[in-house]
Structure 1
Amino acid sequence: MYPLSINGEQLKAILGEKLAGVQVVDMHTHLFSADFDEMLLWGIDEVLTYHYLIAEYFRYSPLDYGEFLQLPKEKQADEVWRTLFLERSPVSEAQRGVLTILKRLGLDVGSRSLEAYREYFRGLTVREQIDRVFKLAGVKEVVMTNDPFDPQERAVWQRGVAEDPRFRSSLRIDPLLLDFPWAAETLQAEGYAVTPDLGGASAAEVRRFLRDWTLKINAVYLAASLPCSFDPAQDGLSTRVLKECILPVCGELDVPFALMIGVKRQVNPRLGLAGDSVGKAQIGAVERLCAEYPDNKFLVTMLSRENQHELAITARKYRNLMVFGCWWFLNNPSLVQEITAMRLETLGLSFIPQHSDARVLEHLIYKWDHSRAVISEVLWGKYRDLLATGWSVTEEDLERDLQQLFQGNFHEFVGR
C-alpha cells in the first residue's frame, strides 16, 4: 500500500497505476458483439483501411479515388501500409494508433512485416480477439451504435442476439431527423402507418416505432449525428419529429437523447466515409432544448474545437446536460489535453472525459491507451494543485474520482 500522505511525484506514479487499472465504460462506439457476424470489423486489414487512414493516404497518393475504393480490402491495406508506413514516418495520431495496436498485441513493430501481422490474425477467432482486446484496453463495456434503418442489422435483431453484457445498445435515429420522407418508407414497410409529411396519426406511429425499438434492444440512449446547422428553433419537419416524437418517447422511457453535433457531410463525396468534415455549431440549440425540456436528459458532444468552452459553460447551467468525449477530429492528444483540462476547471468531475468512437475492434486498444496517458497527465496537474494548498489526496480519493469519471457519470446519467 502507498502511504496516505504523498507528494507530487509519488502521486503521479500512483495516479498512473490507478488509471491504468480502471475498467472503463466506452459509451459510444461503432462496434458489435460477435453475434452480428461481419458487421463487427476486426483485424489488420480493417485497421489499415480505417477512414482516417484513407483520408491521409490520399494526401500522398495520385491514385484515382474510385480506382482505390474498388480494390479488394487487402489491396487497399497494402497501399496504405506502403504509402503511410514504409515510404514515410507514421507520425499522425491514426498512424501511431496502428503501431500501438501491434505493440500491445505482442507483435514485432520493428519488422514492418504486414504479412506477419496478417498471419497472426488468421490464427484467431473473433471471440478470442474480443476477449483479448477488451482485456488489453481495460474496457468493461461498450455501447454499440444500433441502426434500425439498416436491413442487415434489423435481420440480426429479428433472429435474436445472445446476451453479452460487455455490449450495450443505443438506438441511432439520424434518418428521422435528416431525411424523414426516406425514413417513413422504412417505417411503412415495417407496418407503421406514417406519411412522408408526418400527417395524420404519423407522430403517434413514429413514437410507437421508437418505443418498440428502444425496448426491443434495451437501448441505454437514443442518438443522432447532426450537422453544424442543427437548430430546433427552426420550423420544419425535423423539428416536428424531434419535438413531437423523439423527445416525448425519451421522456416517457427516461432515456437520454445523445446529440453529436457539428458534422459537415460529404464535403468530398469521392472519399466515401472519409469525405465528412467539421463545422462550428450554435450552442443555442442545446441551451433551448435543455431549458424547454427540463425533465429530458441530453448527452452532448460537439465536433468543433471552437464549441468546447461554450458547451462546458452551458453544462454548468443545466443539470440535464452531460458533456461527453472528444469526438472524431478532436480525438488527438493535444486537443484531448486542452479540452479535458478546460472541462475539469469548469465542471469538476461532472462530465464523461472520453469515448473511443471505435469502428474496428482493435481501435479500443490504441484509443484508450492514448487517452489514458493524456488524461493522466491532466489529472496529475490538478491533483498537484490541490497538494500545493495543503489538501491531502489519498488512494481512496483517486479510485473514487476515476470510477466516477470513467464509469459512474455515465451509469448514473442514463439510469441503467
Structure 2
Amino acid sequence: GVLTSLNKLGLETGANQLPAIRQWFREQPLESFVSQCMDLANLRAICMTNSPFDPQEKNVWDQNPTRDERFLTGLRLDPLLLDWNNAGKHLKSWGYEVDENLSDSSCQEIIRFLNDWKQKINPLYLMVSLPPTFSYPANDTTTKILKEAVIPFCRDSGLPLALMIGVKRAVNPSLQLAGDGLGRADLVALESLCAENQDVKFLCTVLSRENQQELCVIGRKFRNLHIFGCWWFTNIPSIIEEMTRLRLELLGTSFTAQHSDARVLDQVIYKWNHSRQIMIDVLTDKYTHLSQTGWPLTDQAIQRDVNNLLGAGFEEFCR
C-alpha cells in the first residue's frame, strides 16, 4: 500500500529513498496536497471522524471554521458510549446538567448535547468504534445511553448510527496509536439493535474476518441496516476480494464496497486504487456468470450497480 501511494505520487521507492521521501512530504503545501491525494484516489468527498471529546478538534469547531465542502462530517461518540465517567465530566464542564447515575434528565441533556453538535458540524451520521465484547441490551451505561439518548436522537433527527465493531484497544500500549488489535464480535447485539429499532437507520462494518458472513446475513434480514467498507485490518487485497464476493453473493449491490477510512490522508490513494481494481475483477466474473444465464446486460445497468457500490446506495440510505 505504501509503495502504491508513493508510486502514484511520482516518488522513487528504492531502499535508500526514505530521507528524500520525508523531505518531499515536508515541502508539500497542505491544500494542494489534499487535492492531489483526492485526485489520485478519484474521490469527490471524504467522510471524516469528528470527536467533540478531542480537545484540539473541539477547539477548531468552537471557532466556527470555514468548511472545505469535500470533507463530510461524522459525529464520533466513543467516549460518550464507552467511558461515561470521563465523558460525563466533560459534558458537565461544558454546561450540560448530567449526573453519574444517568438520570432521565441526564439523558435529555445528552440529547441536547447531540443536537448542539448536529447544529455545529452538520454530520452525515453518528458513529462509534466498539470492542468485540460489545453487547446489547446489557445492564451497563452503554446500553442506557444508547437506548435513552443516542437512539431517540437518531430517530428524531433521521441520522444513521454507524457501528464499527471489533477493535481491541491498546493490545500493545507501547505502540501507542498503532497498538490496537481485533477480536471476533458477538453480532447478536447488532441484530437486537436493528430489530428493536426498525425506524432507526444503522450502518455497520466489522473488523474480524470471521464476522463477515454473519454480518451479511443480518444485512439480508433488516432493511434499516447498511453494510459498508473494508475497515482497517480487513483493508488488504485478499480480504477485500473475499468480502466483496461474499457481499455481492448475499446482498446484491445493496452495500457500499469501500469507504474513505484512513489515518493518514495519502492512504486513500492506495486504498481506492487497490479496491477499484478488485471490484473490476470481481464484477467482471459476476457479470460473465450472469450473462451466461441469458440475462441481458446493459451499460446503464452496470453503471447503476457501480454507482451504488461506490456511494450512491449509501447516500440514498442516509437520506
Same fold (TM over 0.5): yes
Rounded Cα–Cα distance in structure 1 between residues aligned with 2:237 and 2:270 = 12
Counterpart position of 1:345: 249
Counterpart position of 1:232: 136
Counterpart position of 1:297: 201
Cα pair 2:207 2:231 within 8 Å, conserved: yes
Cα pair 1:231 1:282 within 8 Å, conserved: yes
Alignment-mate amino acid for residue 207 of structure 2: L
Alpha-carbon offset, residue 397 of structure 1: 2.1
Counterpart position of 1:367: 271
SS of the aligned residue for 1:115 comes to helix
Q: Equivalent residues in 2 for 1:125-274 (5 A)?
A: 125-199=29-103, 201-274=105-178
Cα pair 1:181 1:197 within 8 Å, conserved: no
Alignment-mate amino acid for residue 202 of structure 2: F
Cα pair 1:266 1:272 within 8 Å, conserved: yes
Alignment-mate amino acid for residue 148 of structure 1: P
Alignment-mate amino acid for residue 334 of structure 1: S
Are residues 1:333 and 2:226 paired? no
Alignment-mate amino acid for residue 216 of structure 2: A
CA-atom RMSD in angstroms: 1.3
Q: Equivalent residues in 2 for 1:390-405 (5 A)?
A: 390-405=294-309
Rounded Cα–Cα distance in structure 1 between residues aligned with 2:294 and 2:163 = 41
Rounded Cα–Cα distance in structure 1 between residues aligned with 2:303 and 2:90 = 47
Q: Would the alpha carbon gap of residues 111 and 265 (structure 1) be closer, same or farther in structure 2, given more than 3 Å must change?
A: closer
Deviations 1:352-397 (A, max 9, x none): 1111421111111011111111121111110110121222323222
Deviations 1:186-245 (A, max 9, x none): 101110000122125111101100111122100010000001111112112111111000
Alpha-carbon offset, residue 111 of structure 1: 7.0
Of all paired residues, the percent bearing the same amino acid is 49
Q: Which moved more, 1:313-322 or 1:123-132?
A: 123-132
Rounded Cα–Cα distance in structure 2 between residues aligned with 1:291 and 1:216 = 31
Deviations 1:43-85 (A, max 9, x none): xxxxxxxxxxxxxxxxxxxxxxxxxxxxxxxxxxxxxxxxxxx
Alpha-carbon offset, residue 288 of structure 1: 0.7
Alignment-mate amino acid for residue 288 of structure 1: S
Cα pair 1:356 1:363 within 8 Å, conserved: no
Matched positions, count? 319
Alignment-mate amino acid for residue 164 of structure 2: M
Which stretches of structure 1, 4 residues or longer, exceed 4 Å deviation after superposition? none
TM-score, structure 1 as length reference = 0.75
Cα pair 2:47 2:260 within 8 Å, conserved: no
Rounded Cα–Cα distance in structure 1 between residues aligned with 2:83 and 2:24 = 43
Q: 1:317 aligns with which of 221, 228, 239?
A: 221
Are residues 1:286 and 2:190 paired? yes
Rounded Cα–Cα distance in structure 2 between residues aligned with 1:151 and 1:120 = 30
Q: Which moved more, 1:141-150 or 1:230-239?
A: 230-239
Q: Would the alpha carbon gap of residues 118 and 265 (structure 1) be closer, same or farther in structure 2, given more than 3 Å must change?
A: closer
Instruction: Give 5+ residue unaligned stretches, structure 2.
Output: none
Alpha-carbon offset, residue 151 of structure 1: 1.2
Rounded Cα–Cα distance in structure 2 between residues aligned with 1:177 and 1:164 = 29
Alignment-mate amino acid for residue 81 of structure 2: L
Rounded Cα–Cα distance in structure 2 between residues aligned with 1:105 and 1:187 = 43
Rounded Cα–Cα distance in structure 1 between residues aligned with 2:233 and 2:268 = 16
Cα pair 2:125 2:160 within 8 Å, conserved: yes
Alpha-carbon offset, residue 110 of structure 1: 3.9
Cα pair 1:203 1:244 within 8 Å, conserved: yes
